[in-house]
């Protein structure tokens, strides 16, 4: 039974789950259908009553829902349009909905600070008598003046204070978490940053002092920008295990939204029982990222476009091969705070090949002369392969050939030769219809395709039809990630599990055709 809210004891913060799933729906029936599905795995839910045209109509169902689910903890929210919500009614109508929600068993009500400020204190007292009040403040533009805002919030009595801002940089997450650390010993706080750049705080806020974090019921169900799906928070980010000893890692680049690295690396950490979490870090400036490395701190980074070259100047040391390649995709932060750089794209190329042939003396053609091609060329030379380079822009190809002591070939020269391996290190094929080489030009035993979306490029299809062995971009992606894992943890990587989740995610993307819309973001390879 939902119990009589008038006499309900105040819930202790320590008893609350770490994730609150925000539920939105335009009808009461749909809202409670969703709540039914969510509550089995997540007892704390927020009902966004303001999404329903007549929120009051949902409340009798709330009582029934709580009778069936006595374990459920419900936050009733009816945010007004002026405060970023959908409720068009008056302040009095908002309060009436919240009081009624409490009367029907909702243990918490959310009241925006703007509404609280306009209320008579006796009305606020009435609400507090009915349910625990979460006094919230949302800044939909920035992360600023948190302490000043909080000071004005605490002028109003509440059971919980919720501070939500918008991250315009990665460092805004640090600002939010420092705020939580300053105040969470004296007040019951919930705090996080919205927006794509707010992921760090959505995951790590719980160890900075936020009593819980918010999640969406699933992809496409977000009630705020940047909200992570509850399943991902539990299964991938393992939010329930995050503590002071959890080491944070991440993939840094611009863009990173479609990177498969968080899924792959969090799978690896979970499989090997490592107390670590791996986050997407959308950095619009390298200086922003570097400040976070120090202050969060981040223990390791996967570096992706456009920072693979630029990061090198900020590192304390790199291995000789990374220096030759001139690009770094992996950073580890040592205990003394120093940053060391590696290039694991080399392992991504060399390892799959070594499983199939002896590289010493093997004839390998690399098509392309960009960053990935450089990792392939220098890595293969180091293993004693005979390396050939072909590139659209002759001068760039010749320059790399000179630097690596490889041979540059024109397209006509290439056609007359036979290779053990041909590697496509260009993005041609990402649109699914083009191939950098024709069927006749695939004069090799093994094709190595670096592109991994789509999983089967035109070139891969041609190679399979010709009975060539094929190494896919997904295998490279997994192997470069496996090497990162080893550098960070000193343990062998669970490459099979990593490969399994990457292939499944690529198949899921192919099934819903999402790769067609992802454009440049698919270049996010690590």
Footprint of ligand NAP (CB under 6 A): 345, 348, 368-373, 391-393, 396, 425-428, 430, 436, 450-452, 473, 476-477, 480, 523, 525
E-strand ranges in 51-173 read 73-77, 108-112, 132-138, 160-166
Which residues does residue 73 pair with via DSSP β-bridges, in sequence order? Answer: 44
Pick the closer one to ligand NAP by CB: 36 or 354: 354
d(CA 97, CA 455): 51
Cβ contact 345:373 at 8 Å: no
Which residues does residue 110 pair with via DSSP β-bridges, in sequence order? Answer: 77, 134
Cβ contact 249:51 at 8 Å: no
Q: How many residues does the chain have?
A: 526
Pick the closer one to ligand NAP by CB: 338 or 392: 392
The least distance separating ligand NAP from the CB of residue 348, rounded to whole angstroms, comes to 5
DSSP 5: G
Pick the closer one to ligand NAP by CB: 369 or 414: 369
The least distance separating ligand NAP from the CB of residue 18, rounded to whole angstroms, comes to 33
Pick the closer one to ligand NAP by CB: 86 or 308: 308
The least distance separating ligand NAP from the CB of residue 352, rounded to whole angstroms, comes to 10
DSSP 284: S
CA distances from 160 to 31, 184, 186, 258 (A): 25, 10, 11, 35
The least distance separating ligand NAP from the CB of residue 395, rounded to whole angstroms, comes to 8
356 burial type by CB count under 10 A (0-12 exposed, 13-18 middle, 19+ buried): middle
The 3-class SS string of 398-453 reads: HHHHHHHCCEECCHHHHHCCCEEEEEECCCCCCCCCCCCCCCCCCCEEEEEECCCC
Question: Which residue number places its CB atom closest to ligand NAP?
Answer: 370
Pick the closer one to ligand NAP by CB: 169 or 261: 261
409 CB neighbour count, 10 Å cutoff: 19
Cβ contact 133:160 at 8 Å: yes
The least distance separating ligand NAP from the CB of residue 405, rounded to whole angstroms, comes to 19
Cβ contact 194:225 at 8 Å: yes
Pick the closer one to ligand NAP by CB: 328 or 425: 425
Question: What H or E segment, with its residue span, contains residue 500?
Answer: helix 495-512
Active site residue 440: no
Pick the closer one to ligand NAP by CB: 163 or 523: 523
The least distance separating ligand NAP from the CB of residue 479, rounded to whole angstroms, comes to 8
DSSP 210: B
Q: Is the dihedral of CA 425, 426, 427, 431 positive or negative?
A: negative
The least distance separating ligand NAP from the CB of residue 517, rounded to whole angstroms, comes to 16
Catalytic residue among 308, 324, 381, 458: 308
| Token representation of residue 95 | 């309060």
The least distance separating ligand NAP from the CB of residue 30, rounded to whole angstroms, comes to 40
The angle subtended at Cα 139 by Cα 80 and Cα 109, nearest 5°, is: 45
Pick the closer one to ligand NAP by CB: 372 or 380: 372
d(CA 96, CA 126): 11
DSSP secondary structure, 72-101, as one string: -EEEEE--BGGGTS-B-S-HHHHHHHHHHH
**What residues are annotated to the active site?**
308
């Amino acid at each position: 039974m939902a119990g009589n809210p008038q006499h309900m004891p105040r819930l202790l913060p320590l008893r609350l789950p770490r994730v609150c799933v925000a539920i939105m729906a335009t009808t009461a029936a749909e809202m409670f259908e969703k709540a039914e599905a969510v509550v089995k795995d997540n007892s704390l839910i927020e009902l966004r009553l303001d999404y329903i045209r007549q929120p009051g109509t949902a409340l009798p169902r709330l009582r029934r829902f709580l009778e069936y689910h006595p374990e459920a903890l419900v936050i009733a929210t009816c945010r007004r349009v002026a405060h970023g919500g959908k409720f068009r009614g008056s302040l009095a109508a908002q309060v009436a909905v919240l009081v009624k929600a409490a009367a029907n068993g909702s243990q918490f009500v959310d009241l925006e600070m703007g509404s609280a400020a306009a209320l008579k204190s006796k009305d606020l007292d009435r609400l507090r008598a009915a349910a625990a009040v979460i006094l919230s403040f949302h800044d939909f533009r920035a992360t600023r003046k948190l302490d000043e805002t909080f000071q004005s919030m605490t002028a109003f009595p509440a059971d919980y204070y919720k501070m939500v801002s918008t991250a315009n940089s990665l460092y805004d997450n640090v600002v939010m978490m420092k705020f939580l650390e300053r105040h969470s010993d004296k007040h019951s706080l919930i705090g996080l940053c919205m927006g794509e750049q707010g992921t760090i705080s959505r995951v790590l806020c719980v160890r900075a002092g936020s009593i819980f974090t918010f999640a969406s019921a699933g992809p496409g169900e977000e009630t705020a920008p940047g909200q992570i799906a509850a399943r991902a928070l539990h299964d991938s980010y393992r939010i329930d295990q995050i503590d002071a000893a959890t080491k944070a890692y991440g993939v840094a680049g611009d863009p990173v939204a479609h990177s498969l690295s968080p899924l792959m690396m969090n799978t690896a950490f979970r499989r090997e029982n490592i107390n670590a979490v791996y986050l997407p870090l959308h950095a619009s400036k390298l200086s922003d990222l570097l400040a976070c490395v120090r202050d969060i701190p981040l223990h390791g980074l996967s570096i992706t476009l456009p920072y693979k070259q630029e990061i090198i100047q900020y590192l304390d040391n790199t291995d000789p091969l990374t220096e030759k390649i001139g690009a770094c995709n992996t950073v580890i932060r040592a205990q003394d705070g120093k940053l060391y750089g590696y290039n694991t794209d080399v392992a991504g190329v060399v390892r799959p090949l070594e499983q199939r042939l002896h590289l010493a003396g093997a004839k390998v053609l690399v098509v392309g002369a960009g960053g990935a091609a450089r990792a392939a060329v220098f890595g293969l030379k180091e293993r004693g392969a005979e390396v050939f380079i072909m590139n659209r822009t002759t001068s760039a190809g010749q320059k790399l050939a000179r630097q690596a002591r490889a041979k540059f070939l024109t397209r006509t020269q290439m056609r007359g030769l036979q290779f053990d391996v041909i590697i496509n290190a260009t993005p041609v094929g990402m649109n699914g219809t083009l191939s950098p080489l024709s069927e006749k030009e695939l004069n090799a035993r093994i094709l190595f395709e670096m592109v991994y979306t789509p999983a089967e490029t035109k070139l891969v299809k041609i190679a399979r039809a010709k009975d060539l062995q094929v190494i896919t971009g997904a295998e490279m992606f997994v192997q470069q990630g496996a090497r990162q894992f080893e550098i960070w943890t000193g343990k062998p990587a669970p490459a099979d599990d990593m490969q399994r989740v990457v292939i499944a995610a690529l198949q899921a993307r192919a099934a819903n055709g999402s790769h067609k819309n992802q454009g440049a973001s698919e270049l996010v390879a690590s």
